[in-house]
Amino acid sequence: MNPLKLFPLAITAIPAYCAALDFEGAATRPVEITTEASTGLDAVYVLRDGAGIRLSHTSASPASVRWYRFSRLGGAYAEELTPAVSATKSSVPFDGQDMGYIIEENGRRKCYWIIDYSAHRLELEAISARQGDDCHRTEIALSGNAAEIPYYTINGRRLTLSRELELSYSTLSFDDGSFSYVTSAETTTLPSLSSATSIDAPLCNTVFTLSGDRFLKAWGDSESVASPEYTTTAVEATTRATQETRESDNEQKENSEAGLGGSAPCTILFEAATSDAAVFQEWQISRSAEFETIENSFNDLSFDYTFRESGTSYVRFTANNADGTCEYIGPVYEVFIGESGLEIPNAFSPEATPGVNDLWKVSYKSLVSFQCHIFNRWGTEIYTSSDPSQGWDGKYRGKFVPAGVYYYIIKAKGSDGVEYERAGDINIIKYKEGKTSTEPTE
């Protein structure tokens, strides 16, 4: 056999010039794998059993066809073979070893890599699963053989065929509509499994099933094996914060890790959904961004909290599994409550211009308590309120009071501890003609 040293380091695809490579004696059709042009191979063929197989090539002049075989060293070190020649074909025996073959005719060549699957047969005896190096990874180990299947390019570069093993199991996925975790089926494709393979940890107890491979499936003879039930330890959660809409707010603030708060009192609903392994859960409220001290904590998945103090508060959700080895710490929500303020108008014109200055109402920020009393000139109380977002429409007992001077007394307290005691005049300056009004005298 003579070594062939005719190939450059890169071989491009060559146009077809003859019938495809045939496999005489093969009881099962080989699996053909298309390769990239950079490999220099026209195809990779996987034989179910290479014993007794002859590689043949049909040609108009089979005596002129030359055969070469190369190993992992590449085509530059190919050795020439002596084919058997008939009237229409030339052929060489396949000796059961994974090798590359070159067919040359009229100066043109076809290059293949042939694999005997019987030397790489999938053997699925048992699989097992255990927690990986951290809570978010699970290691899958196989007893048997599902090692990678190598092949070599015309330049001797080692590549591998994916077995396309299917690893099936259950996990949890978050459903936005129900704001909860629901069971879902997961399938991961593995190219091989020669040692422990790490995957994302499932979020529920499950059985892992490994099946394949692609070659056995192509031959209608897939195998599968199932693990004992795996007990999940991974903890995952999803949180959200929804700020209560008030008349004084411009819009509802939801699902934001920043921008919550505003004027006190500010009520926010905090909610969490957790995966199965979360046994201990806690919402934490702190004035420290590092949560060095915890001012309040709640064990419910959802709770309402009213912020009354000025400044920034930090809120987060934590969860742990039963033995405390896996912990979830959620995003931090910042709630900013501004300093308090109170401004009081001294005039309005109810009924004169509907929708314009027809309501007496204070302007305020971050008041946590509020009491307002309005009197006429005879000292009769005609209006009272404990809600600064509400205002006086200029009526008493359902009727507008006359234009004139009225008096208010306000006591309030801000989120920053500032106390307000205010008193002053309110001037009702104008009415539409023809309207009646009533002013009590006692």
At 439 the pLDDT is: 54
Taking only the tens place, the pLDDT of each residue in 194-204 is 877 999 999 99
Taking only the tens place, the pLDDT of each residue in 136-160 is 999 999 999 999 999 999 999 999 9
At 327 the pLDDT is: 95
Q: How far apart are CA 320 and CA 77, in angstroms?
A: 61
Higher pLDDT: 286 or 10? It is 286
The answer, yes or no, to whether residue 308 has pLDDT greater than 60, is yes
At 413 the pLDDT is: 93
At 5 the pLDDT is: 45
At 416 the pLDDT is: 87
At 52 the pLDDT is: 92
Taking only the tens place, the pLDDT of each residue in 56-82 is 999 989 999 999 999 999 999 999 999
430 with 349: CB under 8 angstroms?
Answer: yes
Residue 117 confidence class, pLDDT cut points 50, 70, 90 = very high
The pLDDT mean for the chain works out to 89
pTM reported for the whole predicted model: 0.74
The answer, yes or no, to whether residue 126 has pLDDT greater than 90, is yes
The answer, yes or no, to whether residue 372 has pLDDT greater than 90, is yes
Mean pLDDT across 273-297: 96
Residue 432 confidence class, pLDDT cut points 50, 70, 90 = low
Q: How far apart are CA 244 and CA 227, in angstroms?
A: 49
CB-based contacts of 217: which residues, under 8 Å, 6+ apart? none
Mean pLDDT across 389-404: 93
- Provide the b/e sequence for 275-286 (b: ≥16 CB within 10 Å): bbbbeebebbbb
Q: How far apart are CA 231 and CA 169, in angstroms?
A: 12
Q: How far apart are CA 149 and CA 297, in angstroms?
A: 56
At 431 the pLDDT is: 56
At 352 the pLDDT is: 76
The answer, yes or no, to whether residue 281 has pLDDT greater than 70, is yes
Architecture (CATH level 2) of domain 237-337:
Sandwich (2.60)
For the chain, percent of residues with pLDDT exceeding 70: 90
Architecture (CATH level 2) of domain 341-428:
Sandwich (2.60)
Mean pLDDT across 234-240: 97
Mean pLDDT across 174-190: 96
CB-based contacts of 192: which residues, under 8 Å, 6+ apart? 146, 147, 148, 149, 160, 162, 163, 165
The answer, yes or no, to whether residue 6 has pLDDT greater than 50, is no
Q: How far apart are CA 349 and CA 357, in angstroms?
A: 6
The answer, yes or no, to whether residue 377 has pLDDT greater than 60, is yes
390 with 400: CB under 8 angstroms?
Answer: no
Mean pLDDT across 413-425: 92
At 194 the pLDDT is: 81
**Class at the top of the CATH hierarchy for domain 3-119:** mainly beta
Q: How far apart are CA 374 and CA 428, in angstroms?
A: 13
Mean pLDDT across 268-277: 97
- The CA–CA distances, whole Å, from 55 to 116, 322, 387 equal 13, 62, 93
